[in-house]
Copies of this chain bind each other. A is one copy, B any other.
Amino acid sequence: MDQQLKRVVGTVKCEKGMLKSIEESSLHKIAKPDSIAFYGASSRASTMGSIIMTSLLDSGFKGAIYPVHPTEKTIKGLLVYQNVEELPEVPDLVIIVLPTKIVCSTLEACGKMGIKQAIIISGGFKEVGGDGIKLEKQLISISQTYGIRVLGPNCLGITNTHHHLNSTPFPIEGSPGAIGLVSQSGSFVTQMLNYLSRLELGFSTAFSVGNEADLDMVDCMEYLAACPETKVIALYIEGIKRGEAFIKAAKSISTKKPIVAFYVGGSDSGRKAAFSHTGALSGPDQLYDGMFRQCGVIRAHSITQLFDYCWGLIEMPEPTGNRIVIQTHSGGPGASAADACGRADLDLPTLAEDTLEKLTAFLPQTASAANPVDLTFTRDIKQFLFEIPEVLLQDKNTDILLIYLLLPEETFKSRMMNDGFSEKEAEKKIVEMIDVGAPIFAALKEKYGKPVVGFTYRSLQEKMVHKMINLGIPVYQDPTRAVNAIRGVVDYYELKNGLEKE
């Protein structure tokens, strides 16, 4: 946890082309409110409003929460106000989870009261067509009349893990992280927390933008660009509303902070589903492809790949090139990784003469010092994790180390016991290997300033690998995923450096 927070802290400063400070953003008081009025919670625990109120309370939000309800007296121990005029202060934010037909009148009441920020979770607007379109126009008009900035409608609002704010129906899992998400699907704001926590990743702030009646994806991107806790910006896109503004913002941001986008509107089926989901009008796949490249945005082709790329961009230093050295003790995983590199157009250089000399001390007769470096079999974990990787990272022909990690502690333990160690001694040696060994291995990345990336087919929850992940080594569950993530990182820096020259 601490390690992760450490990695997150103080990374990106505001620079020209971005907001001067996060306070300038219209989203500032939506993402970091001090007080919230809440419509839609009641004593009926099973409504969406009540579920979201529970999330809000469970997230450990530090500010004041004012439930508003015409008949309830208290909800979850909080005093209920019959209407917004009764509140003891003008809250920074109102969250509305009401039936569609009373959303506009409620927003108007809040506007009259002077509330300037709203999250509207209720659906039934533009995305359902017909009268919904009219209702959304009315909503926009109220927002403009009273100067209320609105996130939504038809969204799940925000998960700001650093500020203990969660307006989504699922609880926060895992620790605060460094991925800033802007999503045209609320699901990915709320339903990826479990997935990310298993990788020791997490959101800095995640925005569900819904129908983007007022604040949209571009506003959120600008916020995240200025957000010190955000190291990489992830986008889930069904269709971009303000194309020119998107390009301008993305171009400016991507030279400072990487942006990765998963766009689903490019296929015919995806386009139709997107339209029925948020009423988004999506464009042809190739158009988006070109636009992304033009403004330095890396394109992912699945949610898994979106976060694979984010992980790589958070953890890898800028590579000096695209020459990969693969270290393995198993030929098949090595060859699979090599094949993936070939398909991803990443080079597998021949190692330098002095590297080959240094390696001879470590390699058994059956091993190969070609690239992949295949030890075929090694019992000396220190050689495998420290000495050989160090030799490979020192090689002037290599830019990136990709290493196969197969470290099941149960197997090590039983082998040590076969070697004559008692169970206690074996366990002690394994704890030592993890506590001492993982940091030495993980430190190689900083020592040589080169990306170190792992892959395994085992669970990432196994202790040794999980410790490495915790210390900043991305470990992917297939060499193809690892190689594609490296490709994404190499692409990002190529595009970034190109844009900087423009």
* A277, B264: Cα distance in complex, Å: 40
The docked-state distance in angstroms from the alpha carbon of A232 to that of B304 is 27
Residues of B within 8 A of A186 (CB): 330-332
Which residues of chain A (208-267) have a CB below 8 Å from chain B?
A: 236, 238, 262, 264-267
The answer to whether A365 touches B477, judged by C-beta atoms less than 8 angstroms apart, is: no
List B contacts of A411 (CB < 8 A): 170-171
Q: Report the bound CA distance from A340 to B48 in whole Å.
A: 30
Q: Does A422 contact B (CB under 8 A)?
A: no
Chain B residue numbers with a CB within 8 Å of A343 are 267, 270, 301
**Do A124 and B366 form a contact, CB below 8 Å, given A330-B186, A332-B277, A459-B198?**
yes
Size class of the A contact interface (CB-based, 8 Å): 35 or more
Supposing A185-B330, A366-B128, A370-B276 touch, asked if A191 and B339 sit within 8 A by C-beta, the answer is no
Say yes or no: A377 contacts B48, CB within 8 Å.
yes
Q: Identify 12 residue pairs between A and B in the complex whose beta-carbon atoms are under 8 Å apart, listed by A's number.
A: A45-B418, A51-B418, A127-B366, A171-B414, A185-B332, A270-B343, A272-B348, A272-B370, A273-B331, A273-B335, A277-B335, A303-B333
Q: How far is the CB of A359 from chain B (nearest CB, A)?
A: 14
Given the known inter-chain contacts A331-B277, A332-B236, A419-B45, please indicate yes or no for A339 contacting B479, CB distance below 8 A.
Answer: no
**A478 on the interface (CB 8 Å rule)?**
yes
Q: Does A497 contact B (CB under 8 A)?
A: no
Return chain B residues, CB-CB under 8 Å to A273.
326, 331, 334-335, 337-339, 348, 370, 372
Cβ of A448 under 8 Å from chain B: no
Interface assignment of A117: CB less than 8 Å from any CB of chain B: no
Chain B residues near A48: list those with CB within 8 A: 377
| Chain B nearest CB, measured from A414 CB (Å) | 8
How far apart are the CA atoms of A262 and B339 in the complex, in Å?
11
Residues 113-133 of A at the B interface (beta carbon under 8 Å): 123-124, 127-128
Q: Is the CB of B264 within 8 A of A338?
A: yes
State the CA gap A452–B326 with chains docked (Å).
Answer: 39
| CA–CA, A470 and B324, complex, Å | 40
CA–CA, A411 to B419, complex, Å?
46
Within the complex, the shortest CB–CB distance from A451 to chain B, in Å, comes to 18
CA A211 to CA B207, docked complex, whole Å: 54
Residues of B within 8 A of A142 (CB): none
Q: Across the interface, which residues of B come within 8 angstroms of A145, CB to CB?
A: none
Is A50 close to B, CB under 8 A?
Answer: yes
Give the complex CA separation of A481 and B481 in angstroms. Answer: 13
Q: Mark A409-425, 1 if CB is under 8 A from B, else 0.
A: 00100110011100000
Q: A408–B193 Cα gap in the complex (Å)? A: 12
Tell yes or no: A399 within 8 A of B by CB.
no
Which residue from chain B places its CB closest to the CB of A185 in the assembled complex? Answer: B332
Nearest chain B CB to A335 CB, angstrom units: 4
Give which listed residue, B170, B198, B339, B481, contacts A269 with CB less than 8 A: B339
Q: Chain B contacts of A477 at CB under 8 A?
A: 304
Say yes or no: is A336 at the interface (Cβ < 8 Å to chain B): yes
Query: Does A376 touch B at the CB level, under 8 Å?
Result: yes
* CB neighbours of A106 from chain B (8 A): none
Interchain CB contact under 8 A, A332 and B51: no
Q: Is the CB of A54 within 8 A of B264?
A: no
Q: Which of B171, B191, B338 contacts A333 (CB 8 A)?
A: B191
> Which A residues, 362 to 408, have Cβ-Cβ distances below 8 Å to chain B?
365-366, 368, 370, 372, 374, 376-377, 379, 406, 408
- Pair B340/A480 contact, Cβ less than 8 Å: no
Contact B191 A330 (CB under 8 A): yes
A194 at the interface (CB under 8 A from B): yes
Bound-complex Cα distance A271 to B342 (A): 9
Question: B-facing mask of A310-338, CB < 8 A → 1, else 0?
Answer: 00000000000000001000111111111
Q: Which of B154, B194, B268, B368 contacts A277 (CB 8 A)?
A: B368
Q: Which residues from B are CB-within-8-Å of A272?
A: 338, 348, 370
User: Are A335 and B302 in contact, with the CB atoms below 8 A?
Assistant: no
Residue among B303, B420, B478 making CB contact with A302, cutoff 8 Å: B478
Would A330 and B366 count as touching, CB distance under 8 A? no
Task: Select from chain B the residue with minimum beta-carbon distance to A301.
Answer: B480
A194 and B459 contacting across the interface, CB-CB below 8 Å: yes
Q: Are B185 and A335 in contact (CB under 8 A)?
A: yes
Taking a contact as CB atoms closer than 8 A, the residue among B334, B415, B459, B478 that contacts A303 in the complex is B478
